[in-house]
Structure 1
Amino acid sequence: MRTTENNRDDDSRPKRGSPILESILENARNRRHLGQRLAAVDTRLDTDVLLDIVRHGPLLETLLEQPLDHREIEERLGVSRATSHRFTQRLDELGFITKINSRFQLTGLGETVAEEVLRFETNVQTANRLSPLLDCICEDLREFVIESFVDATVTVAAPEEPYRPIERFISLVENSDSFRGFNTTHMAPIVLGEFHRQIFDETETEMVYLPHVAEKLFEAYPEHASEAIESGHLTLRTRDELPYGLALFDDHVGIGGYDESTGQMQVFVDTESPVAREWAERVYASVRADSEPIVEQIDSLH
């Protein structure tokens, strides 16, 4: 499969992103090799130390806000005096805190570790929320910017509500003046005529489909689709391979995951995150650059 996240600075490829996005992407590219890098310099932490760091995460987070004495730690964390003393003793042994005027405050090392523990928890929690999506598309998202989907809306199909993801997707299209995307199947079921009339007539639309998916669209709406393309209201392109479903609206970006056997959308995740938008624009530009405009179907109707 061709990559969707090339990083070439020419006219047809996405330019380098913001420093924030580039840093996140670099971390994503390298994270699977971090173990090898750590082993090379022989600096792997003892598992018990890692467990201690995670176990003391709530206290590290609390001390990020301000220095506290034992009584305040006990009140904030809801722990006993003995537990408070045990916690502070261990963090002191690790070099994460120091005691000044009866109050415990983080050292420079402690601040860094506290922030990393928070980031770890955030990413794990986000991954748990996105698990229905990740299970569908994880193979194709080695550079997925999970940090930008912390506050994402996750809509999952359920036995009693199998169309929840597609309904969420359609609601975003209806509230957007423009829509761009690519997908391995139709963005919405081909039988939803009202939706397709909207993207033909009301929403400035550009879509990249697999060739056979585009053909089915023309079979279902031959004149309407051709008129929309000729008027410039709809841009339809094809690509032989696509990794998953990506949608860019005016204010949101979304990713869809599908059941391979039925082709039905199982999960749709969307967010207004600026970093997610930048990532999605980058991916879409790369996919679009490797696609071809639809012309044969239009010519056959004349």
Structure 2
Amino acid sequence: MDSSDTDRAVSILRRTPLLAACRDSARSRRELSEQTGVSRTTVYRATVALEDRGLLEKTKEGYRTTSQGTALLSASETYETAVETIDRLDPLFDLVSHPTLLEHAHLFADATVVVADPSNPYRVVGHVMERFEATATSRGTLVNPTAVEAIERAMPELASKDHIERIFTASALEAHETVGGEGFDEVTESDSLSVLVADDDAVPFSFAIDDDDVSIVGHDPATGLPTVHVESGRPAARAWLEALYERCKAAATPVA
């Protein structure tokens, strides 16, 4: 896309409020000015430009969005949603920037984002534990070492679970064994837990598929604490992570 194409796209995006105002019924220029808060002069120029591009049509009742204009408006609304989603997921992208996540970030438009801060560094840990307590089954991956505190908090809950399955990257498993010591050994010996291990490059990031929703976690590399938690109940987000999990599992082997 050259500069002229970019300028054209930006010009149309700026005028989408006028297209939206004319989508359901015809509007006069006076009505468009009142509804959008744009001056009459600006409305005049915009309606002329949008009509020239076939996005608005003039009728006896006023200006109405054409089929092409409606299609472009829908696309622009999708773009605006994508921008809002990316802004909301920015804390996660600071910690997790794998291409497959960036490609599918739009699936988390409705996601709940929980972020730890200096005044409450364990905020995400508490949130994760609340979710863990509320689920009977869970599948997921771990690519980062988890803080000992998080392991200790999870231990009492394992006995009440139907089945928990986790795929560790080789480096994450080694780190957990080193940092967690006997406490981690006790966790892996639980009857309700299945642990698998895969090469580091076979697992892109840490995520979980629970009873009702799915989540992606970003860990502080210095402390191992989960500091960003993104969760969604959207079927499309679940379907994507389920397919990704199966690919990770196919590359993993059970830990004896």
TM-score interval w.r.t. the shorter chain?
Answer: 0.7 to 0.9
Identity %: 29
- Establish whether residue 272 from structure 1 lines up as the match of residue 230 from structure 2: no
Q: Which residue of structure 1 lines up, in the alignment, with residue 174 of structure 2? A: 212
> Which of 209, 214, 218 is the matching residue for 1:253?
214
Range with greater deviation from structure 2 (62-71 or 214-223): 214-223
Report SS of the residue matched to 2:218.
Answer: strand
| Residues 1:263 and 2:224 aligned together | yes
> Given the superposition, is the C-alpha separation of residues 258 and 66 from structure 1 closer, same or farther in structure 2, using an over 3 Å criterion?
farther
Question: What TM-score comes out, normalization by structure 1 length?
Answer: 0.75
Are residue 130 (structure 1) and residue 71 (structure 2) matched?
Answer: no
Equivalent in the alignment of 1:299: none
Q: Structure 1's 223 and 254: CA in aligned 2 closer, same or farther, altered over 3 A?
A: closer
Residue 224 of structure 1: how far off its partner (Å): 5.4
Gaps of 5+ in 1: 1-34, 296-302
Residues 55-64 or 240-249, more deviating:
55-64
CA shift at 1:251, angstroms? 1.1
- Alpha-carbon distance, 1:240 to partner: 2.2
Structure 2: runs of 5 or more not aligned: none
In structure 1, the partner of 2:53 is: 94
The count of corresponding residues between Structure 1 and Structure 2 is 249
1:132-171 → structure 2 map (5 Å cutoff): 132-141=91-100, 144-171=103-130
AA matched with 1:220: G
CA distance, structure 1, for counterparts of residue 141 and residue 222 of structure 2: 20
Aligned residues of 1:199 and 1:234 also touching (Cα < 8 A) = yes
Q: How many angstroms apart in 1 are the aligned matches of 2:4 and 2:159?
A: 57
CA distance, structure 2, for counterparts of residue 58 and residue 149 of structure 1:
25
Tell me the SS of whatever aligns to 1:160: coil
Correspondence for 2:138? 179
Q: In structure 2, what is the equivalent of residue 17 of structure 1?
A: none
- Judge conservation of contact 1:153–1:271 (CA < 8 Å) in 2: yes
1:52 aligns with 2:11: yes
- Determine helix, strand or coil for the equivalent of 2:135: coil
Normalization by structure 2: what TM-score? 0.87
The aligned residue for residue 185 of structure 2 is: 222
| 110, 125, 130: which one aligns with 2:69 | 110
Q: Which has the higher contact order (CA 8 A, sep 6+)?
A: 1
Aligned match of 1:84? 43
